[in-house]
Chain A
Amino acid sequence: DAKTTQPTSMDCAEGRAANLPCNHSTISGNEYVYWYRQIHSQGPQYIIHGLKNNETNEMASLIITEDRKSSTLILPHATLRDTAVYYCIVRSRGSNYQLIWGAGTKLIIKP
């Protein structure tokens, strides 16, 4: 599976949109981009995933570039409860159970 690169940490003001970038320049055609987050002392929580089209759900939006080498997770109106470590993971059908976890981005929402 392709590796991902994320910034170590980011700050965002409460109520503003939080944009979390992820680079996955070696992604292959059958690999999906997944986002999870882990709030302190809790288990990881699924957020969203996509292949090549932009995706939106009740939690967030996922924007994938046309060349698929990078993506951005958008939390439209960040709240203090969105403070967490956010993990970007690429995952292929061939390894349908493996999630390779990097270090993630520590997102801090400030009041």
Chain B
Amino acid sequence: DAGVIQSPRHEVTEMGQEVTLRCKPISGHNSLFWYRQTMMRGLELLIYFNNNVPIDDSGMPEDRFSAKMPNASFSTLKIQPSEPRDSAVYFCASSSASGGALETQYFGPGTRLLVL
């Protein structure tokens, strides 16, 4: 199994530019999570999808952030316009939630974003 795949692994951009982060979950998993990690705030859940539907986006910091999951094998997290305070490592994770059972979340390698 290839695991969760994220791209790009590193992104450097200038303030005001649009940034798109991509995630391919583990095949067969029906839950997908986007997290952000910073030194100050640790790991924070941004949004959670189940069966391609956003279930909880309460962690999305503001309207500049948006996430989509057009199909079971692909999700994007977009920041537009980007700001220096968005600099962080963004992780995607997936799990095979089934009927409320506690399923393990498997994380991708992350995208390191630096906004200048």
Contact = CB atoms under 8 A, between A and B. Distances in A.
Interface residues of chain B: helix, strand, loop or mixed (majority):
strand
Interface in B74-116: 91, 93, 95, 97, 100-110
Contacts, number: 46
Interface residues of B, number: 26
Interface residues of A, number: 16
A14 B104 CA distance: 29
Nearest to B95: A97
A44 B43 contact: yes
Given A46-B104, A101-B42, 7 more contacts: A43-B4, A44-B43, A93-B101, A96-B102, A97-B50, A97-B97, A103-B42
Interface of B: 4, 31, 33, 42-45, 48, 50, 55-56, 91, 93, 95, 97, 100-110
Interface of A: 32, 42-46, 49, 91, 93, 96-99, 101-103
